[in-house]
């Protein structure tokens, strides 16, 4: 019998569901990797309690409060548009950025991203180089032609010494290689657009 799902963190725990969650249960509850919630605990963003054996335990109400503070549409900070065709990576970046106080909008393609830009101009765009159809470099050019200069940090799994220089030549404010440390990306976002 597996761990019960926690799809609606705003509800009270039904009878039979624990008020205290293990690291794995808490990670599933928040929809992030265990390493992420471990890091958030170490940084004091999510309170953790330790058993005599040194295992972390999380109170359900603390996790619910964290979701209330950082859930979609709750962050009132600068808007960041995350453009990547990997839904899990987008979600991870959204959760991480919202935990820092940013409002986040997601797009899985250049077409969706350009439509989102028409709707509301973001303070920052995090843009994957490899996208289906129109790639990140083409999107960057179209975005600059239509919307002028919006700060952009490019990222890609294909990195070489020229990638960062190429990004700068095309008007991006930064380049990060994938797989990357999300904290590095957030640190760069904070440098460009402080919360």
* Cα–Cα distance, 132 to 114 (Å, whole number): 14
pLDDT (average), residues 156-166: 73
Measuring CA to CA, how many Å separate 182 from each of 40, 115, 170, 172, 179? 12, 26, 23, 18, 9
Q: Which of 37-46, 67-76, 129-138, 178-187 has the lowest mean pLDDT?
A: 67-76
Q: Is-same-fold flag (20-70; 79-192)?
A: no
CB 171 within 8 A of CB 56: no
pLDDT in tens, 14-72: 455 678 899 989 888 877 778 878 877 887 778 889 989 889 999 988 888 877 665 54
pLDDT (average), residues 119-127: 89
pLDDT at 161: 66
What is the gyration radius of the CA atoms in the chain, in angstroms?
A: 18
pLDDT at 56: 92
pLDDT in tens, 73-106: 444 678 899 999 988 888 888 888 887 878 889 9
Q: What does pLDDT average to over the chain?
A: 79
Question: What are the boundaries of each domain within the chain?
Answer: 20-70, 79-192
Split at pLDDT 50, 70, 90, the class of 175 is: confident
Phi-psi sector, 101: left (phi>0), alpha (psi -120 to 50), beta: left
Q: At the topology level of CATH, where does 79-192 sit? A: Rossmann fold (3.40.50)
pLDDT at 102: 85
* Cα–Cα distance, 63 to 99 (Å, whole number): 12
Residue 11 has pLDDT above 70, yes or no: no
pLDDT at 81: 93
The hierarchical CATH code for the domain 20-70 is 1.10.1660.10
């Amino acid at each position: 019998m597996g761990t019960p799902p926690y799809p609606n963190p705003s509800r009270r725990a039904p009878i039979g569901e624990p008020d205290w969650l293990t690291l794995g249960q808490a990670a599933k509850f928040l929809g992030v990797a265990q390493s992420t919630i471990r890091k958030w605990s170490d940084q004091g963003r999510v309170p953790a309690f330790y058993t005599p054996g040194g295992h972390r335990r999380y109170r359900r109400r603390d996790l619910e409060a964290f979701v209330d503070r950082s859930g979609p549409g709750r962050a009132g900070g600068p808007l960041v548009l995350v453009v990547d065709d990997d839904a899990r990576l987008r979600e991870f970046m959204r959760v991480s950025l919202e935990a820092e106080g940013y409002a986040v909008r997601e797009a899985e393609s250049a077409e969706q991203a350009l439509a989102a830009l028409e709707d509301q101009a973001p303070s920052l765009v995090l843009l994957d180089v490899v996208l289906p159809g129109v790639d990140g470099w083409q999107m960057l050019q179209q975005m600059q032609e239509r919307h002028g200069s919006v700060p952009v940090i490019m990222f890609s799994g294909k990195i070489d010494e020229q990638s960062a220089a190429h990004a700068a030549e095309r008007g991006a404010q930064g380049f990060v290689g994938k797989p990357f440390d999300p904290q590095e990306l957030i640190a760069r976002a904070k440098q460009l657009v402080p919360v």
